[in-house]
Structure 1
Amino acid sequence: MDMSAKIGERPEAIRRVTKIYAAFLIAGFALSPAFLIAYLYFFQDPALKFENHLFHEFAITGATIEGLFVTYVSWRCYLSSGEPLLRWLTLGFLGFTLIYVLHGAFTGMAHHNIWLFLLYGPASRLAMAILLLIGLLSFNQEPDTPAQRVNPHTWLAWIAAFLVIDVAVAVAAYSPFAGSPALRLSMEGGALMFSAINLSVMLMGRIRSPLMTIFGISIALFGLSSLAFILGKPWNHMWWLAHAIFAGGFFILSYGIVKAFHTTRSFANIYNQEEMVNRLAMAMVRTESALQELQRSNQMLEHLASTDPLTGAANRRHFIERVDAEIARAKRDNLSFALLALDLDNFKAINDRYGHQVGDQVLQGFVQKCTEQIRPYDSVARMGGEEFMVLLPQATQELAVTIGERIREATESAVFDSIVIPKLALTVSIGVSQFGLDGSTIDTIFRAADERLYRAKNQGRNCVIME
């Protein structure tokens, strides 16, 4: 294998290695709190505690305000995209906030009824874990209709359900089962289990995008926080670490929501650097194709606007523009040019005898003959009916007569075949004018060419007149 081939393979190999490396980095970041949990589990002093009710209440107040804010942003994204995942994310944030706020409100009850204080935390995390799993299972489903998004009954029903959970937790806290650690561990373990299921669904479904990666990291942190709560005791270091891990997951997921709000307001159809590059490349190709098509359309329109549709020669308007431009160039560079005024002889008789279809074929054939006899940069125009003009840039009157004679002879000797008649002879009369010699305005040189054309008609037709 040559050196160039080896060099060509390296970027692909590096791309694969860096992808694997990036995946390990994400996994390491998501699971990094596990090392802190293990450290505290094996090395912390169980007797050490930090019991500060005011600090706890302040932290829960901040979490509640942030929860309400992120709930609102998620809801705004959902209203815009109708994505089911965002609906469940909104409900997850809302349910967590409405349940978790009582965990802070009852901080003062820690010495009176510890379970009224403790149970709202795992209940809020369990509710959020369940709703996030439901949201993940709805990933890439059809968006909700606008009517479904703003239906107040749906949102009020969920708010009522969360308030019922609040009441149910309070009843459980005062029930005989409250003293059993199994109640708290079952809720915290349920949150851990649903978080693990969430991650498994993501990995098996190979759901990849930057925002869904953020979603997965947050779920991992939520699961690890539940593990830390299971291992911790109220107010000890593990318990506080569990709060910090959950807050980290909440912050990261909130960041994802804000990024969605500032981009597509969607988690499914969100930016992916590789996908964005591909889409941008495709969009550029489509744009370039559209520009080329537009250019072709403009050229076609310009051609149609400047061309006689029957013969393909320039039309009167375009020919006059060409002559005006040639006059300006001739004056600027002290040059000359010439005009030929042409009129087919007895063309009306052809139309009357053989019909307009044959007449049209004759006109098309005549323009073809003219084009063959003139120079590449000369131009033929149909001025109307059987009247034509030829612009001859940088031509003297003598050269114009020579070209006119070529056209006359080619027309006279040509045979215009038709489906109606076997052959048809045709002649043309031509008048010649020259810029400068016959005037320096478009009117004067047109008039001179027309007058000589009429003189050619009066002198028997089928001739070229220059004076």
Structure 2
Amino acid sequence: MSATTAMQTDKQRSFVRLITRSYAQLVLVAFALVPAYLIGYLYFFQDPGLKFENYPFHEIAIIGATFVGLFVTYLAWQCYRSSGEPLLRWMTLGFLGSVLICALHGAFTRSAHQNIWLLLLYGPASRLTMSILLLIGLLSYQRPSDPADRRAGAKYLLSWTAIFLVVDVLVALLAHSTVAGVILLRVMETAALGFSTLSVVILMLRRPRSPLMLVCGISVMSFALSSVAFLLGSPWNHMWWLAHVIFASGFFLLSYGVAQAFLTTRSFATIHSREELNARLAQEMDRAKNALKEVHRENQKLAHLAATDPLTGAANRRHFIACVETEVVRAQRDGTPFSLLALDLDNFKWVNDAYGHQVGDTVLQGFVRVCLDAIRPYDGVARVGGEEFMVLLTRTSLDAALAVGERIRATIASTTFAGELGRKVSITVSIGISQFGRDGRTIDALLRSADERLYHAKSQGRNRVAID
């Protein structure tokens, strides 16, 4: 695919994503405004005089809503105690206040004929309480969580319970006062509408990314539209009942958000959208891949350290023996011989005594470099003692091994290593060689033969290679 085609494809995908995102937002707005369509239908096409005055149905509905509200209040409180989010604290109070006040709206259902305001005023009072407390909660959204040792406890909840009971008493007094009437009812309902609308505006301006805040926004929109329906309706007519249904829908939708928070993170702020989760998942997968690569590199380093001599970089004895074991298996299978060289630096102790161990280390490192230059890349050099080394020559007969040994011996004898104050250090090496098959078919036999010939080379005057 050419660069131009790739750019065109990316632009098409971006355009499609933009259209899809816009469509999804429009669907959500249309869904949030469903109650408005129903309100418009009843307002324009239904007779406002038609009524459904059913006291038991109203009482049962309020009783059910009360029990559900108390349960959701408990869930919201537990979420707050866990996360400490101020939003959840105020949401808990909103549920509690709405339930404690609205319960009397149901309790006084049968008092409608004696005092209609005793029934009607508790409804807008509960919605006004809910809208005020939710607005305060939304203003506190994304503020730092309350410290665990300072989170409001049972006394705090009981204090607000007492406040809501006082509100119940005040509403009862208003219902029996001379100020009770349609104007008071509309003022309270209009105030609830205003606070709910302000909450919706705040959410639209902040555009929180949490899906639970989207649920909260749709719920608050339902509360606002229920107030509109109550303002347009009259007791017991269809608009009045629709207003109850709209408020209940928002209430239950918000309770769903609380339940989701309780079952997951117990927070409204730390539950993310699908896009955010996908992005976070991709980031975590990249981190995991990078971590695995780093672990692999570290394992390789550890394996290298476990298999090599830290001073010279040559293989250590354990790794060398493992390589020889592998070569024994191969040689036994296909019959091709291999050879071992046992090497020992002559009079190396004198170098350490005369020049110091630092110079001795330099000599050992230079010796390994000479050995590596003399062998093939797939052969191996190992340090098996202080100045003792072994060389594995794979698929190599005794004659070829002798040539390699002589090359190493001659190079070492002609090489000078740097000493202190510009002094040069010369050294020689003695070598013993064994071959698989000729000197045995086991590791022990081969090592023993190579060591015996090494000692023979030293006893013959050092600086020589022995094969017999």
TM-score (norm 2): 0.96
Give the aligned residue type for 1:256: G
- Structure 1 residues 5, 291: CA separation in 2 closer, same or farther (over 3 Å shift)? closer
- Are the aligned partners of 1:68 and 1:93 in contact in 2 as well (CA < 8 Å)? yes
Any conservation in 1 of the 2:48–2:237 contact (CA below 8 Å)? yes
Q: Does 1:64 align with 2:66?
A: yes
**What pairs up with 1:22-421 in 2 under 5 angstroms?**
22-149=24-151, 151-178=153-180, 180-421=181-422
- SS for the counterpart of 1:111 is coil
Partner of 1:444: 445
Scaled by the length of structure 1, what TM-score is found?
Answer: 0.96
3-state DSSP class of the match of 2:391? Answer: strand
* Native 8 Å contact 2:55 2:110 kept in 1: yes
Q: What is the CA–CA distance in structure 1 between the aligned matches of 2:163 and 2:334, rounded to whole Å?
A: 90
Deviates more, 1:124-133 or 1:3-12: 3-12
Q: In the superposition, relative to structure 1, how do residues 334 and 91 fare at CA in structure 2: closer, same or farther (>3 Å)? A: farther
Q: Give CA-to-partner distance per residue, 1:214-257, whole Å, 9 cap, x none.
A: 11111111100011011111110000000111111122212222
Q: How many residues align?
A: 466
**Residue 258 of structure 1, CA deviation:** 2.2
C-alpha distance in 1 between matches for 2:224 and 2:254: 14
Distance (whole Å) between structure 2 residues aligned to residue 410 and residue 168 of structure 1: 108
- Distance in 2 (CA, whole Å) between partners of 1:289 and 1:352 is 49
One-letter identity of the residue aligned with 2:163 = A
Q: 1:310 to 1:420 in 2, by over 3 A?
A: farther
Matches of 2:152 and 2:182, distance apart in 1: 41
Q: Which moved more, 1:273-282 or 1:419-428?
A: 419-428
Contact kept, 8 Å, 1:363 with 1:386, in 2: the verdict is yes
Q: Cα deviation per residue 1:64-121 (whole Å; 9 max; x = unaligned)?
A: 1221222222222222222111221122112211221121122122222221212111
Secondary structure of the 1:384 match is coil
TM-fit CA distance, 1:336: 2.6
Shift in Å at residue 380 of structure 1?
Answer: 0.9
Cα deviation for residue 333 of structure 1 reads 3.8
Name the SS of the counterpart of 1:45 in structure 2: coil
Distance 2:7 2:350 in 1: 76
CA RMSD of aligned residues (A): 1.7
**Aligned-pair distance for 1:8?**
2.9
CA apart distance, 1:414: 1.7
Aligned mates of 1:151, 1:442 — CA distance in 2? 77
Shift of 1:2: 5.7
The whole-number CA distance in structure 1 between the counterparts of 2:5 and 2:387 is 71
1:373 maps to a residue whose letter is A
Matches within 5 A, 1:422-433: 422-433=423-434
Distance 1:155 1:464 in 2: 94
Counterpart contact for 2:209–2:272, Cα < 8 Å: no
1:40-78 Cα distance to aligned partner (Å, 9 max, x none): 122221221111111111111211122122222222222
The AA in structure 2 aligned to 1:236 is N
C-alpha spacing 1:395/1:2, structure 2 compared with 1 (3 Å): closer
CA contact (8 A) 2:359 2:418 kept: no
> Contact 1:429–1:462 at 8 Å: present in 2 too?
yes
Query: Distance between the aligned counterparts of 2:88 and 2:443, measured in 1?
Result: 72
The superposition leaves residues 102-161 of structure 1 with CA deviations (integer Å, 9 ceiling, x where unpaired) of 211221222222212121111111111111111111111111111233522222222221
Does the CA contact (< 8 Å) of 2:128 and 2:188 recur in 1?
A: yes
1:271 Cα deviation after fit: 1.7
Q: Deviations over 1:340-377 (max 9, x none)?
A: 11000110111111111100110011111111111101
Secondary structure of the residue aligned to 1:389 is: strand
Aligned-residue sequence identity (percent) comes to 59
Q: Is residue 358–residue 420 contact of structure 1 (8 Å, CA) maintained in 2?
A: no
Q: Distance in 2 between matches of 1:332 and 1:158?
A: 88
Residues 316-356 of structure 1 deviation map (CA, whole Å, 9 limit, x = unaligned): 22222222222233334444322111000110111111111
Amino acid at match of 1:84: P
Quickly say closer, same or farther: Cα 1:334–1:161, change in 2 above 3 A.
Answer: farther
State how far apart, in whole Å, the 2-side matches of 1:72 and 1:22 are: 33
- SS of corresponding position for 1:177: coil
SS at match of 1:310: coil
Q: 1:150 to 1:434 in 2, by over 3 A?
A: farther
Q: Secondary structure at the match of 1:416?
A: strand
Unaligned runs of 5+ in 2: none
Contact 1:354 1:420 in 2 (8 A): no
Distance 1:342 1:141, change over 3 A: same
Letter matched to residue 100 of structure 1? C
Offset, 1:207 = 2.3
Which ranges of structure 1 fall in alignment gaps of 5 or more residues? none
Farther-moved stretch of structure 1 (159-168 vs 222-231): 159-168
